[in-house]
Amino acid sequence: MRASDRLDLINKFGRELQSRYHYEEIDTFLAHYGVKKPERITTNSKWVYSKEALAVAPTTTLLKRPKSWKSKCHVSRRWRAGRRGTGITTATSVCS
């Protein structure tokens, strides 16, 4: 996944978490996916709080968005031939 796609995905998910949950619920949601809550956040913004937590999350975790979310982001996977016949899968996020 390209860095710009990752940032777009984190931004969209942060906005979704902000609109749906309170701080404690965001912590519970993130914990369900193995993401630790952010530390040393001094701003009173659930969006910034969520983005900070998701910034360190593995890409595989970011790709596991809940199906109940009506996010305008989707991830496409492309397969291409690698060296010596091994297949390489790349993930690309598309946000609108």
Residue 56 to residue 54: CA distance in whole angstroms: 5
pLDDT digits (tens, 9 = 90+) for 3-59: 888 898 899 899 999 999 999 999 999 999 899 989 888 888 999 999 999 999 988
CA angle 31, 33, 34 (to 5 degrees): 60
Token readout for 8 is 């777009």
> Which residue did the predictor score with more confidence, 69 or 4?
4
Give the pTM: 0.67
Q: Which of 9, 10, 8, 17 is nearest to 69 (CA)?
A: 17
- Angstrom CA distances, 46 to 13, 24, 51, stand at 11, 10, 8
